[in-house]
Amino acid sequence: MESSASLADKLASKTASNNSLDSSSKSSSLGSKHGQNGVLRDTPFAYLDGEEDQDQKNDVTYVCPYRGPVFGALTITNYRLYFRSLPLRDQEPPVVVDVPLGVIARVEKIGGATSRGENSYGIEIFCKDMRNLRFAHKQQNHSRRTVFEKLQTNAFPLSYSGRLFAFAHAAAASAVNGGSSGWDGWAVYEPLAELRRLGVPNDMWRATKLNESYTICDSYPAVWAVPKAASDDFLRRVAQFRSRCRLPVLSWMNPRTQATITRCSQPLVGVSGKRNADDETYLSYIMEANAQSDKLTIMDARPSANAIANKAKGGGYESEDAYKNVEINFLDIHNIHVMRESLRKVKEACFPTTDDSKWQTAIDNTLWLKHIRCILAGAVRIVDKVETMSTSVVVHCSDGWDRTAQLTALSMLLLDPHYRTVRGFEVLIEKEWLSFGHKFQQRIGHGDNKHSDADRSPVFLQFIDSVWQVSQQFNNAFEFNEHFLITIVDHLYSCRFGTFLCNTEAERVTEDLKHKTTSLWTHINSSLDQYLNPLFPSFTQGAELVLRPIASVRALRLWKGLYCRWNPGLCVPQHGCQRTRELLSKQDQLFKHVNELRLKSNNRSNSMQTTTRLASPMH
């Protein structure tokens, strides 16, 4: 992270570095506790619990794409890379680069023994958060070799039989705090409590722990909500006809109409168009559980061509002839490979340099906003079916852990105000993304050096971007602010917390993450004030409880606060939230002053009336 903060500023407060990465790159949600084990290190940054030095070089040049080469010191710990320039003139602010190693996608050596150009010999670092970093080394002192080795082993510990930093961080914090870390973020989501909030169990739906040992479906949660008419043995048979055994289970229920959102994977119909009586009956149970409608809508996230192509691999989609009273809609959301390429183009457009005359064309050519529009439009269609038509909806893609999660989570956010609060949004992520098996480990590549892995894709990032787009259209409907969303994205990569580690709930249970790592929600909920939207209390109730955003590219815009924050020519200082707080505070003061004046006026009036009565000859 580039910064012009002074050393005094860096050490001024234990929480100063806990601010989220703003667009001027002067603060970071990836900051740290002041000192390790309560001891201040002789370095210009505060160490996290469990953070230890790995290497330090005092003769490294950071090739900054905006300020040019700057000479300084480089420190590598088991959590971060930290560079600080040595100012050549008094009062000149230093250049600071502070990058958690989990953000690094790959590290490459540049130049060789015959390199003669200035700063042509060194290391280039490619990051997951849109930036690249280049450091030049002097050939004669061989400093590059050890830096490269330490970056490889600490940025990609799983490729070198190591462990992610989250484990060392939690162990050290537990030792310092005596095993108590205050509010436990792992307790934010309790499946049965969330089902009770939705009104389950009831006459038509029940909760089951059939998958408690993860033997029916290893990528599903232990607790499901299913139609009451479906027995456990029946559910086992239905699972066999769905890809990865991901049968339809409840995500959300409208408490007023009982219309539901259920999620699953594609049916295994294949080229021959196989039918399965149990699967067809099961979908009829879902439809019949909603007395308001005699129809069931299936939202297939894929383009229809992709769904048809999946038949050749044994998958496919539901036939309206086989599934009675069912209509199927294809939402044209492309696969993970298309999305990965789109984000690559966004990075090229935003960092390190841009051409103003071609900026809009470059962004249009990424197709990023078109993809976001498709996700938003799909969620709005689900909302319309559930809220307006009182029709239950089944959502799936191919395996049901990428596009399906985008659609269910976003539509639930639009339908249910609870998920637009801080705690509710944390529950939404825990439920629809983590417990239902979005493959965070594979999609992000935590701790491994397989940077060209075809399984990597910005699926969850697109969901967060979609939430931000909705928040821009309804800026007083969310309890949380932009800083909250950016903090989640930052720690999606950082590997400081256990929240986004592993691929499934079963893996997290096996790794015992609840006891061996700290939850991101512990970190966020311990300092809520900085994540709150000051406009939220003014959100009106009634019709606007359900949000219906405009799903048009004309209404969307590139999230510069996230994607362009490393480019000083593109980033826009985000002072709006602070200014709003100041105005609301001033408004409160004025209201208080008005009330005081009214009280004085009433007291004066009452006093005059009392005086008049006492002076009257009638008394």
Q: Is the pLDDT higher at 303 or at 180?
A: 303
Residue 368 assigned ligand-binding role: no
Residue 524 assigned ligand-binding role: no
The tens digit of pLDDT for each residue in 225-250 reads 999 999 999 999 999 999 999 999 99
The tens digit of pLDDT for each residue in 574-583 reads 555 566 666 6
In eight-state DSSP terms, residue 430 is I
Distance CA 216, CA 19 (A): 43
In the chain, what are the domains? 52-155 (2.30.29.30), 186-563 (no CATH)
Residue 592 assigned ligand-binding role: no
Query: pLDDT at position 441, please?
Result: 98
**For the chain, what is the mean pLDDT?**
89
The tens digit of pLDDT for each residue in 128-170 reads 999 999 999 998 878 899 999 999 999 999 999 999 999 999 9
- Is 467 within 8 Å of 405 (Cβ atoms)? no
Residue 335 assigned ligand-binding role: yes
Query: pLDDT at position 575, please?
Result: 54
**3-class SS of residue 392:** strand
Distance CA 329, CA 479 (A): 33
Strand-pair category, 392-396 with 296-300: parallel
Query: pLDDT at position 598, please?
Result: 87
**Rounded to 5 degrees, what are φ and ψ at 75?**
-120, 135
pLDDT reading at 506 higher than 80: yes
Catalytic annotation, pick one of 127, 397, 502, 564: 397
- Is 517 within 8 Å of 497 (Cβ atoms)? yes
β partners of residue 396: 300
Span 349-366, average pLDDT: 91
Distance CA 141, CA 143 (A): 5
Q: Which residue has the tokens 């108590």?
A: 180
Distance CA 537, CA 479 (A): 8
Span 305-313, average pLDDT: 97
Beta strands in 496-572 (DSSP E): none
Q: Judge residue 423's burial from the number of C-beta atoms within 10 Å of its C-beta, 0-12 exposed, 13-18 middle, 19 or more buried.
A: middle
pLDDT reading at 123 higher than 90: yes
Distance CA 548, CA 178 (A): 48
Rg (CA), the chain: 28
Span 300-308, average pLDDT: 97
* Cα-based angle 157, 158, 160 (whole degrees, multiple of 5): 65
Cis peptide before 248 (omega within 30 of 0): no
Query: pLDDT at position 592, please?
Result: 81
Query: pLDDT at position 140, please?
Result: 81
Q: Which residue has the tokens 């949000």?
A: 547
pLDDT reading at 6 higher than 60: no
Query: pLDDT at position 518, please?
Result: 97
- Is 10 within 8 Å of 45 (Cβ atoms)? yes
Structure tokens at 199: 């009104």
**Amino acid identity of 418?**
H
Q: Is the pLDDT higher at 498 or at 598?
A: 498
Query: pLDDT at position 573, please?
Result: 62
Residue 402 assigned ligand-binding role: yes
Q: Which of 114-118, 288-292, 441-445, 489-493 is predicted with the least confidence, judged by mean pLDDT?
A: 114-118
**Rounded to 5 degrees, what are φ and ψ at 401?**
-125, 0
Lateral strand order in the sheet of 296-300 = 249-253, 260-263, 392-396, 296-300, 326-330
Query: pLDDT at position 591, please?
Result: 78
Residue 358 assigned ligand-binding role: no
Query: pLDDT at position 590, please?
Result: 80
Distance CA 301, CA 305 (A): 12
Active site residue 397: yes
SS (H, E, C) 319-346: CCCCCCCEEEEECCCCCHHHHHHHHHHH
Cis peptide before 617 (omega within 30 of 0): no
Q: Give 464's Cβ-side CA count (13 Å radius).
A: 24
Query: pLDDT at position 581, please?
Result: 64
Q: Give 272's Cβ-side CA count (13 Å radius).
A: 3
Structure tokens at 410: 């976003």
Residue 364 assigned ligand-binding role: no
Query: pLDDT at position 331, please?
Result: 98
**Residues 6 or more apart from 95 whose CB is under 8 A from it?**
2, 3, 4, 62, 64, 67, 70, 72, 83, 84, 85
The model's pTM? 0.88
The tens digit of pLDDT for each residue in 75-113 reads 999 999 999 998 777 778 899 999 999 999 999 999 987
The tens digit of pLDDT for each residue in 405-454 reads 999 999 999 999 999 999 999 999 999 999 999 999 999 999 999 999 99
**Residues 6 or more apart from 496 whose CB is under 8 A from it?**
30, 48, 79, 100, 102, 165, 166, 169, 518
* Cα-based angle 333, 337, 342 (whole degrees, multiple of 5): 75
Residue 400 assigned ligand-binding role: yes
Distance CA 240, CA 227 (A): 17
Residue 401 assigned ligand-binding role: yes
Query: pLDDT at position 114, please?
Result: 73
Residue 445 assigned ligand-binding role: no
**Using 50, 70 and 90 to split pLDDT, how confident is the model at 15?**
very low
Q: Is the pLDDT higher at 617 or at 387?
A: 387
Residue 336 assigned ligand-binding role: yes
pLDDT reading at 176 higher than 90: no
